Structure 1
């Protein structure tokens, strides 16, 4: 049985040898913030898939089952939190739903944080038949979900054209049983900022402005979900403070990553290898983010 004082996370995500996405993006911040993290890597790739050459291996469903069986047989399958990100197939996602149910037999109070990674900017980068599994099987099991606007629209069949539309999408996800719904980014801002929205079922709803950076980062969604998990635990589910701390950490890391990359590449597009998130160098920001952007309460009518 685990120590009662230390929260324990099982994180099932992708893994890269170089760079920071999936588990590489989630584990270090969680550990720095005081969590024990056990991880299962759904893929092991040389780099994230935005690079020119992709090499590596994919964990097969029977291999995943074997790992879970080993944890269970050794009675080390007690977790306070369960975190999932990118899943490559409907079958692997159904398997994850089974794992959640199994873990909840050991700890009925287990908190499941689901980042339903399906796409962005109107494009799906997973098979289309993953969508109904997220929508109908996985999301109803989640305590916290952190989709971007596009993913939230996919799961509800609703469009976010304004704040009212965003709140309708959030309510539709609450109606599926999710306690905390976080739209990690929406297009409701302007050229300089995005808007993030977090809502608790039957409780408060907050929006926060997220400054845009002149670069595309990979792994920020994975980092967002891990940070939101950590801070919701550390603040005893204070959703306003959790959103503020999460965004403060992300902004600090993204800003530093951008500035260092720009110093090396003053003009033009920044190469992918220079824009890998600088997590290790920003350990102090992860531990103690300074909140400069406040979340503002919005009402659901």
Structure 2
């Protein structure tokens, strides 16, 4: 049985981190082996706060060792990483990727380098940003940053389309083979812009920007999972990009319709496999 190791945060209530990534991948027909970097009662944007804790990096190492003992690293098709609770966990990710690729050279590593966003700024513990940009992102086959995280990785300001393309080109020169920018906020206020950059070309998708009283959390985690799943199902990078865009938009559309803050991933599950929208990528 082949599957994906997904190393991310976990919330008991709602959908963020692994709670936003695991079910969509399963609904697409993909086995997921989740490892949690933190376990919180709810995501961290609640005014009332949250309860829970981060796990030790050694917990990740032990779980990977257990999978190795039963021979399952051979069957790992991809490692997907998201929010890290400490700089030491970043090293555990690096070690995990090395072990998986030693067991299965065809496995890919997809890194969602969670550092923050334009509104929140840096939201991770000390040392994580430096570890992500200096050691983790360069070994990834695919990175899925937002605009803020792409700028952190490349050291480049992004205010328009041409700068976004140049930043993606710089990112590709630093190690990754593919860059999916899950939100380019500087391109438009009315349209939600996403970009895919490969060694061959850059592609842009713009779909309507949905207004919420409180912006849902976990959308980036959902996009990363959908893109990874679509790639593993044999889709081209552009087709996987379109699927991730349209499926996540379907979840957000129902979330808005139901006037909810938490992503309505379960209620909108059909969108994960057969999206009702069809926004297409344009080469730029």
- Shorter-chain TM-score range: over 0.9
Question: Conserved in 1, the CA contact under 8 Å of 2:161 and 2:187?
Answer: no
Q: 1:135 Cα shift?
A: 1.7
Of 143, 148, 156, which aligns to 1:150?
A: 148
Whole-Å separation in 1 of the counterparts to 2:127 and 2:97: 21
- 1:87-236 alignment to 2 at 5 Å? 87-121=84-118, 123-201=121-199, 203-215=200-212, 216-236=215-235
Question: Conserved in 1, the CA contact under 8 Å of 2:6 and 2:32?
Answer: yes
SS across alignment from 1:186: coil
Question: Conserved in 1, the CA contact under 8 Å of 2:18 and 2:34?
Answer: yes
Tell me which moved more, 78-87 or 126-135: 126-135
Question: Conserved in 2, the CA contact under 8 Å of 1:118 and 1:125?
Answer: yes
Of 56, 59, 74, which aligns to 1:60?
A: 56
Q: Which runs of 5+ in 2 are unaligned?
A: none
Of 218, 242, 262, which aligns to 1:244?
A: 242
SS across alignment from 2:73: coil
Q: Which runs of 5+ in 1 are unaligned?
A: 262-273
TM-score w.r.t. structure 1 length?
0.89
Whole-Å separation in 1 of the counterparts to 2:250 and 2:165: 28
- Aligned partner of 1:85 in structure 2 is 82
Q: 1:77 Cα shift?
A: 2.2
- Aligned partner of 1:12 in structure 2 is 7
Q: Deviations over 1:261-300 (max 9, x none)?
A: 1xxxxxxxxxxxx3111111112111111342221111xx
Q: How many residues align?
A: 279
Whole-Å separation in 2 of the counterparts to 1:63 and 1:146: 25
Whole-Å separation in 2 of the counterparts to 1:212 and 1:113: 26
SS across alignment from 2:96: helix
Question: Conserved in 1, the CA contact under 8 Å of 2:223 and 2:244?
Answer: yes
Q: 1:187 Cα shift?
A: 2.1
SS across alignment from 2:193: strand
Question: Conserved in 2, the CA contact under 8 Å of 1:244 and 1:291?
Answer: no
Moved over 6 A (4+): none
Tell me which moved more, 78-87 or 122-131: 122-131
Question: Conserved in 1, the CA contact under 8 Å of 2:82 and 2:111?
Answer: yes
Instruction: Calculate the aligned-residue CA RMSD, in Å.
Output: 1.4
Q: Could you say which structure has the larger radius of gyration?
A: 1
Q: 1:207 Cα shift?
A: 0.3
Q: Deviations over 1:106-157 (max 9, x none)?
A: 0011111100000001611013522221122111211111100000001111
Residue 34 in 1 paired to residue 29 in 2?
yes
Whole-Å separation in 1 of the counterparts to 2:248 and 2:58: 35
Question: Conserved in 2, the CA contact under 8 Å of 1:245 and 1:290?
Answer: no
Of 242, 255, 258, which aligns to 1:257?
A: 255
SS across alignment from 1:38: strand
